[in-house]
A and B are shown apart, each in its own frame.
Chain A
Amino acid sequence: MSRVEAPVDQSHQSTAFGRRRWTGYVLLLPGALWLTIFFIVPMVTLVSTSLYDPSGTLESGYQVTWAFSNYVDAIQTYWPEFWRSLIYSGLATFFALLIGYPMAYAIAFKAGRWKNLMLVLVIAPFFTSFLIRTLSWKLILADHGPVVDFLKAVHILGPDGRLLATSTAVVLGLTYNFLPFMVLPLYASLEKIDHRMIEAASDLYASPLQGFRRVTWPLSMPGVVAGTLLTFIPAAGDYINVELLGTPQQTMIGNRIQGLFGAGDYPFAAALSVTLMVMILVMVIVYIRRTGTEELL
């Protein structure tokens, strides 16, 4: 929910409490310390763990040997998983945008007095547990379930076709679970659009389609960027949907990282984790630069 908030307007610096310079530091300190010790330092530890001698164990101890070979090995062994993670989360982001944009548009411009109810329905998935609602997809998509039977009846699925345990189910689950993260920022930016801009476009003889393409869409860009990032990033690291709706053939990188940490192969797992983080950061930075929405940060 809060992820969608617009960039803070810095002009609101109040006069009332801004006088004592040290007060800011005092207020900031406890939280900043927590984030430093339990977020930034662990990130550094993760990087150094990824450079441990891979032959060490938890019992015998590890040594930082600058074993960059961990990275080479990790990427060589697991590039299909990386690739699948990017494809699945990319597809999920695309579908979430496709489904989410009309939803956000209708709620922002057409819902009238139903607006609040519809917004609550959008975030309703957050009201139950992530795992429970994913399990419930398992039931909906089950072989001989209503959805599969219907798709077979209209010949979209063949007689032996199934949905569960396929890539389709995994992408559907990812799309579903992160859809609210797409709709809310889209709604927030569409809601802010000044209607007179769209009216002006139609006064100047733009067709509704042109008006949308030249006015509404560009103005909603901050929402599109925020929404796609908030969908793509968690989806790329997710392993729950694959585990519950897919098979080992759909394994994503999250499954491997979790599995290797569980098995105690820390250097390798850490190398995978760092690689994922770097890949995502690079993609995010390039994406934000290209869409010209740096102020989102």
Chain B
Amino acid sequence: MSASLVRLGHWITEHLVMFACILGLIYTILPIAVVVVMSFDDTGDIVYQFNGFTFENWRHPCAPYGMCDAVVTSLQVGILATLVATVLGTLMAFALVRHRFRGRSVSNVGIFLPMASPEIVLGSSLLAFFVAGGYASYLGFTTILIAHVMFCISFVVVTVRARLAGLDSTLEQAAMDLYANEWQTFWRVTFPLVFPGIMAAALLAFSLSFDDFIITNLNAGQTQTFPMYVWGVARRDIPPQINVIGTAMFLVSVLIVLAASFGGRRRSRPVG
């Protein structure tokens, strides 16, 4: 066997993992590329396939009846649910990391369980709860909001808790040594250090809320969120505008990631 063949063998085993990884990444990216391409589809939308290039869908994103109303509903639910869940979850994370009290381990299990339950179970239990309470005819915006806050809290807690637990407590001790009181130490040292974690948690909560379908669908009544709109049209003619929304969501997310990574880089630059 020639030496070059051996070297080729080495090269392959060395790079095989990377090759598999790149294939995996293509698998994850492929449908998103399709969404972007389809947003420019010049449609006779009877067949869901690419017929030709056009900007029309982007110029008239709200053309399909009811779609933009659904997007607005999703944004409203998303923002409100994110605010409430982030505040409640952050407080819980501080309690769990910074305070010792009875019932901590019970609390930890209580926070873990919603994440370990399939959405269909969470959604159906809430529906059963609303129906048993006599609220069956009141299903709508409020019940969606309640559900979204419920499933977002746990994710906020684990995100903020991880940031808080990884915090170097000597920084706070240093502040106290320099005669900062507890309040000052919290707002000048602790909070700024935890803030990126809180932001990450809020973004996560928003994306979970905006994208939720299974739980929402059970508790929405007549209200329609964007995922519910997509579900409704999925078995009829699919308007290409849903891909405009999908692409816009993708672009906004990419911008946020870029902003976060640049912001992080600036912050980590040495002072002076």
A binds B: yes
Chain B residue with minimal CB distance to A110?
Answer: B18
Q: A34 to B153, Cβ gap below 8 A?
A: yes
- Complex Cα distance A273/B247, Å? 35
Q: A132 to B242, Cβ gap below 8 A?
A: yes
Q: B98 to A34, Cβ gap below 8 A?
A: no
- Complex Cα distance A48/B261, Å? 49
- Complex Cα distance A128/B85, Å? 22
Q: Interface size on A (CB < 8 Å)?
A: 102
| Residues of B110-133 whose CB lies within 8 A of A | 110-122, 124-129, 131-132
- Complex Cα distance A239/B120, Å? 9
Residue picked from A38, A109, A140, A208, most chain B C-beta under 10 Å? A38
Residue A66 lies at the interface, judged by CB distance under 8 Å to chain B: no
Q: Which residues of B contact A180 (CB under 8 A)?
A: 28
For residue A32, give the distance in angstroms from its CB to the closest CB of chain B: 7
| Residues of B198-257 whose CB lies within 8 A of A | 200-201, 204, 207, 210-211, 213-214, 217-218, 226-227, 230-231, 234, 238, 242-243, 245-247, 249-250, 253-254, 257
Q: Which residues of B contact A74 (CB under 8 A)?
A: none
A-side residues, CB < 8 A to B, are 1-3, 5-6, 8-9, 12-18, 21, 23-25, 27-28, 30-32, 34-36, 38-43, 45-46, 48-49, 58, 99-100, 102-103, 105-107, 109-111, 116, 118, 120-122, 124-140, 142, 145, 176, 179-180, 183, 208, 229, 233-234, 236-240, 243-244, 253-254, 257-258, 261, 266, 269-270, 273-274, 276-277, 280-281, 284, 297
- Complex Cα distance A230/B226, Å? 25
- Complex Cα distance A237/B247, Å? 27
Q: A3 to B128, Cβ gap below 8 A?
A: no
Q: A102 to B21, Cβ gap below 8 A?
A: yes
Q: B176 to A16, Cβ gap below 8 A?
A: yes
For residue B98, give the distance in angstroms from its CB to the closest CB of chain A: 5
- Complex Cα distance A30/B88, Å? 6
Q: B28 to A14, Cβ gap below 8 A?
A: no
Q: Which residues of A contact B87 (CB under 8 A)?
A: 30
Q: Kindly identify which residue among A13, A39, A120, A124 contacts B114, using a CB–CB cutoff of 8 Å.
A: A39
- Which range holds the interface residue count of chain B? 35 or more
Chain B, residues 37-57, CB within 8 Å of chain A (1/0): the string is 010000000001100000000
Q: B129 to A45, Cβ gap below 8 A?
A: yes
Chain A residue with minimal CB distance to B147?
Answer: A38
Q: B182 to A42, Cβ gap below 8 A?
A: no
Q: Which residues of A contact B112 (CB under 8 A)?
A: 297
Q: Which residues of A contact B115 (CB under 8 A)?
A: 3
Q: B100 to A13, Cβ gap below 8 A?
A: yes
Q: B214 to A136, Cβ gap below 8 A?
A: no
**A24 in contact with B124 given A12-B165, A140-B31, A233-B118 (CB within 8 Å):** no
